[in-house]
Amino acid sequence: MSFKEYEFYLPIGYEDDKGVFHRKGKMRLATALDEIEINNSAQSKLKTRYRDCLLFSRVLESLGTLTEITPEIIENLYEADFIYLQMLYNKLNSDYNENVITKCPNCGHVNSTDLTDLFSELNFILEERESKI
């Protein structure tokens, strides 16, 4: 079975034991079996938040040069990266949408920004900047 995969860039990245940061990754869509097995796991019943670590270790196909993503790798992500993965997962696998609505104090114009898209745009800028160095 082939899965639809989506590329992403973590805001900070996973730092391995050699000090290398892994930011670019691929996440596949989750299956019902992913959710069922995670929900039946004894580990996820003990710690609600650990459920996402287990889930991400199943649906992340790669992270930088790493192709075997373990729960321990996910545990060691910075909080900003973990939250980003939660938002991306929800965006890809449900109709959940994390929008922030702001209003300009000068003109009154209302803006709506999807936080996952905002992270993606910021990462694109960072990638361009890094490639020029």
pLDDT band at 56 (very low <50, low <70, confident <90, very high): very high
Pairwise CA distance, residues 24 & 60, whole Å: 11
pLDDT at 104: 87
pLDDT higher than 90, residue 47: no
Which string of DSSP letters, residue by residue, matches 115-130?
Answer: HHHHHHHHHHHHHHHH
Name the amino acid, one letter, at 64: G
Identify which has the larger pLDDT, 53 or 3.
Answer: 53
Q: Which helix (H) or strand (E) holds 10?
A: strand 5-15
Q: Residue for token digits 């270790």?
A: 57
Q: pLDDT tens digit string along 76-106?
A: 999 999 999 998 998 888 765 667 788 888 8
Cα angle value 44/49/52 (rounded, 5°): 75
Mean pLDDT of 111-124: 66
Identify which has the larger pLDDT, 110 or 42.
Answer: 110
Using a 10 angstrom Cβ sphere, with 0-12 exposed, 13-18 middle and 19 or more buried, the burial of residue 7 is exposed
β-partners of residue 110 are 103
Strands 5-15, 21-28: pairing kind = antiparallel
